[in-house]
Structure 1
């Protein structure tokens, strides 16, 4: 292994952890937004279907 100081190694590990943390946080936000959108869409479809059944 090349000569890497302990301080440099600590910084690299910290940056790597922070990058992974931020990426995971953003992925969870996107997933939550998608699930909210899907829930709203399905609720709208259910409401529409119930209206059609009431009219039939």
Structure 2
């Protein structure tokens, strides 16, 4: 195993942390978008069902 300098090790750790932070942030944004979409879809289905029940 090659000897790593302290500087390259620090850079590697900071880069790894930064990439993990950004990917987690993006994953959370996608999750929130999905949950908002699902909530809107379910609310629309509920409105349709309520209309059907009112007409019956």
Post-superposition offset of 1:40: 0.1
Match of 1:41 in 2: 41
TM (norm. structure 2) is 0.97
CA RMSD of superposed structures (Å)? 0.5
Aligned residues: 56
For structure 1, the 5+ residue unaligned runs are none
After TM superposition, the runs of 4+ consecutive aligned structure 1 residues lying more than 2 A away are none
For structure 2, the 5+ residue unaligned runs are none
Q: Deviations over 1:1-48 (max 9, x none)?
A: 311100000000000000000000000000000000000000000000
